[in-house]
A = this chain, B = another copy of it.
Amino acid sequence: MELVSRILGGDRLALARAITAVEDGSPSSRDIIREIYPHTGRACVVGITGSPGVGKSSLTDGLIRDWRREGEKVGVVAIDPTSPFTGGALLGDRLRMDSHSTDSGVFIRSLATRGQLGGLSRATGAVVNLLDGYGCDVIFIETVGTGQSEVEIMRFAHTVLVVVAPGLGDDVQAMKAGIMEIGDVFAVNKADREGADRTALELEYALDLAPAGRPWRPPVIKTVATTGEGIPELAAKIREHGAFVRDGGNLAAHSLRASEFAIRELLAESVVIPVIERAKASGRWDEIVAGVAARKIDPYAAVEMLVAPRGEDEGIGKGGS
């Protein structure tokens, strides 16, 4: 496949086209991933997550610059909910591409969260593979941290950076009941604001509550992304964790976990969509949905009707009318 050879050769345009194909779930995306997959597994994947407004994007920009100073090739997958009001992801891309647009060693792409049934995870996994095959040394996946899908996507990352900011008094409190356990490195960004020391301290306390015997104790680093303060220390800790994963024998376990997740998500999409498409084509879909809406068919019965062999269709008319 010419497109894949071009990506492997470092062709940006080919990469952009392939990403669009996998994002849209177009038929060619399967062939693209199949062909590029044996050439992947080399990149270090870093997940960056945190609530809206903590400054994840500025921090990611700072980290990009740090990796670029080392001459490494950087890929970024930014996952933001799309908005019909602003055009969402697209606008963000343009603004952020500006500061790196003259640098051919950086490739940034936003993914919209319009997918369903694991569509977002499937697309993220595929884009990570593409950036990996393209030759990126590090791939940052940036998400908003509070959602189930977004937390799950972090399974693709070798290292998860959780970003918080002082200001919301109950922020760490809210966080504890959330993404605390997936963080390998913590950044308290906007550390020039009042309350930064307290936030950092609260994080340290919360981390102290973790079960004993964990081989990696997540560090907490204070940063001011806008001035670059603390970024080198943060980058060093991320690299240190990467080495810990590679050298500590955790890479195999991580690969298995990420692969299992990728298969599950792809399976959901591959198995479910054809069932729905088939039912739509025969008109049964609308009939069944209407039956459930009218409380004449319960959701479990609906699923049985959808997956039942054709010969057993007699039940629908009875239940749905």
Contacts and interface: CB of A to CB of B under 8 A. Distances in A.
A10 interface: no
A274 B60 CA distance: 40
User: Which of A115, A150, A152, A267 has most B Cβ within 10 Å?
Assistant: A267
A321 interface: no
A151 to B, nearest CB: 7
Copies of this chain in the oligomer: 2
A22 to B, nearest CB: 11
Contacts of A235: none
A293 B83 contact: no
User: Which of A84, A271, A301 has most B Cβ within 10 Å?
Assistant: A271
B289 A260 contact: yes
Interface in A159-198: 165, 167-171, 174-181
Interface stretch (A141-149, A224-232, A242-250, A310-318): A141-149
A40 interface: yes
Contacts of A81: 146, 148, 151, 177-179
User: Which of A148, A170, A264, A300 has most B Cβ within 10 Å?
Assistant: A148
A52 interface: yes
Interface stretch (A13-21, A69-77, A85-93, A97-105): A85-93
Given A53-B168, A144-B146, A295-B38, A82 B307 contact: no
Contacts of A201: none
User: Which of A176, A177, A260 has most B Cβ within 10 Å?
Assistant: A177
A125 interface: yes
B147 A148 contact: yes
A23 to B, nearest CB: 15
Interface residues of A, number: 88
A286 to B, nearest CB: 9
Nearest to A181: B84
Contacts of A130: none
A261 to B, nearest CB: 9
23 contacts: A37-B299, A38-B295, A38-B298, A51-B53, A80-B177, A81-B146, A82-B177, A83-B181, A84-B181, A116-B152, A117-B264, A146-B147, A146-B150, A147-B147, A168-B168, A255-B293, A259-B289, A260-B289, A266-B300, A267-B276, A268-B271, A270-B300, A271-B303
Nearest 9 A/B pairs, CB to CB? A147-B147, A52-B174, A37-B298, A255-B293, A148-B149, A259-B292, A53-B168, A81-B178, A88-B177
